[in-house]
Structure 1
Amino acid sequence: MRVNELLTEGFGRLPDLVRGAVEGLSAEQLHWAPQPGANSVGWLVWHLTRVQDDHVTDLIDGAEQLWVTGNYAPRFGLKAQAHNTGYGHSPDQVETVRAESAEALLEYFEAVYERTRGYVAHLTDKDLDKVVDERWDPPVTLGVRLVSILDDDVQHAGQAAYVRGLLPQ
């Protein structure tokens, strides 16, 4: 198995996880949180998608985030701000993220996923050693960044599935 096939397989598991967490939920259910200040299914899926959009876009020369260039933000009651990925959100900020529907979440996620899939499809082993962020010690390579994105997304998809399971019947 080549590295691009491995990454395609890893990222390729996310669509089923995301769909399983949100399909069939109403806007109210997507916004429900198990307690005040906790994350909702909708926020978790929005956040994992925003992080993937932000981080993968940074890896593609000349690309802009789909969040900024597409018409997604209004469907969440937000502005299309590139810096707003949910990282460090306060409970009040989490509360402002309101997906209009499961379809809105899925459409944005699918667009980001397709971009990511297209990006990783052509990577080689040598590509993974390229330093993409020198702000860290040691500097972050492309391989480490992609694993970090995938790890973060899988964790948040699992959290979204868990919160879905807590929804009142």
Structure 2
Amino acid sequence: MSSIDFMKQTLDFIHRGFKGAPDGLTDAQLHFVPDGQSHSIAWCMWHGVRIEDLFFQQLFQGKPAEWDTGGWAAKTGLPEKGFGTGQSNDDARAIHIASLDAFRSYQEKVAELSTAFLDSISEADLASRQVQMRDKTETLGESINLHLVIHLNGHRGEVNLLRGMQGFDPVLLNQGG
């Protein structure tokens, strides 16, 4: 299996996890935040797809984010600006997905765009293309693995913890999750 195929397979797993995250939940359960410095399942879903959109569209390709071009803030009822990184606990707790159907359409579009990008690059691109991350530079492969494969899978695990805290089964049970 090539590195690109592995990344596509892993992102597909993460996408399926986030897609199934709200299954069987009420709006209140989707937005439940336990005591302490935690997030809701809705926040994890929003943050995950926004990060993926920003990295694949803006950082890797220099294109506008799908969030902006597709008018998704208005469609989903989510904040127009921001993506969760550096957000205060109060701001994170205020994240509320008003239209889950519209949000799922955004998730599907971002997944489609991410796959299209991965289909357009080569194994050599992963090692040779450079991505500027504030004050450091990473290879494209490092950036995809660190900020998308590993980071997003961590939030997928957080979703399963939050589902379990509320008495629900985890998503992708017995499928590596």
Instruction: After superposition, give the CA deviation of every residue in 1:10-68 in whole Å (9 maximum; x if it has no partner).
Output: 2111222112311232322211112264200000111111111111112114x211111
Q: Which has the higher contact order (CA 8 A, sep 6+)?
A: 1
- The alignment covers a number of residue pairs equal to 165
How much identity, in percent, do the aligned residues show? 25
Q: Secondary structure at the match of 2:131?
A: strand
Give the structure 1 partner of residue 157 of structure 2: 158
TM-score of the pair, normalised by structure 1? 0.86
Structure 1 gap segments, 5+ residues each = none
Instruction: After superposition, give the CA deviation of every residue in 1:66-108 in whole Å (9 maximum; x if it has no partner).
Output: 1111132134433422xx1100111111122100244343222
Structure 2 gap segments, 5+ residues each = 169-177
Q: Give, in angstroms, the shift of residue 110 of structure 1.
A: 1.5
Give the structure 1 partner of residue 12 of structure 2: 12
Whether 1:59 aligns to 2:27 is no
Q: CA RMSD in A?
A: 2.0
Contact residue 26 and residue 102 of structure 1 kept, 8 A: no
Structure-1 separation of matches of 2:101 and 2:52:
18
Give the structure 1 partner of residue 43 of structure 2: 43
2:41 partner letter: V
Aligned pairs (5 A) from 1:11-160 = 11-35=11-35, 37-57=37-57, 58-61=59-62, 63-81=63-81, 84-129=82-127, 130-133=129-132, 135-137=134-136, 139-148=137-146, 149-160=148-159
Contact residue 22 and residue 41 of structure 2 kept, 8 A: yes
C-alpha distance 76-101 of structure 1, shift in aligned 2 (>3 A): closer
Q: Which runs of 4+ in 1 moved over 6 A?
A: none
Contact residue 42 and residue 105 of structure 1 kept, 8 A: no
